[in-house]
Amino acid sequence: MTKDECKQVVLDIIADIAPDEDLSNVKPEVRLRDQMQLDSMDFLDIVMELRKRHGIEVPEKDYQQLASLDSCADYLTPKFDALTGKS
């Protein structure tokens, strides 16, 4: 999975859990919570959906790795690749 595809996965999850958010101008390098009205429960929903939809576990110690779209892609892309057997 490419980093752009990974970012789209995260955006798709956000679109489902926060349907009123405008995702058209999300800046990939800026913290998601600084750009949107996401609270801690929304963030936990993102983590839960990653596990439910894609089988990706994000330990609590790694939550800060999901702050921005760029950091999500950096953190999640190797995890997706490990699931699909890519390196």
Q: Where are the domains of the chain?
A: 3-84
How would DSSP label each residue in 15-50? Answer: HHH-TTS--TT--TTSBHHHHS---HHHHHHHHHHH
Say whether pLDDT at 58 is over 70.
Answer: yes
Mean pLDDT of 50-63: 96
In the chain, % of residues over pLDDT 70: 99
What's domain 3-84's architecture?
A: Orthogonal Bundle (1.10)
Half-sphere exposure of 39 (CA within 13 A, CB side): 1
Residue 9 has what pLDDT?
97
Burial of 31 (0-12, 13-18, 19+ CB in 10 A): middle
In the chain, % of residues over pLDDT 90: 93
pLDDT tier for residue 86 given thresholds of 50, 70 and 90: confident
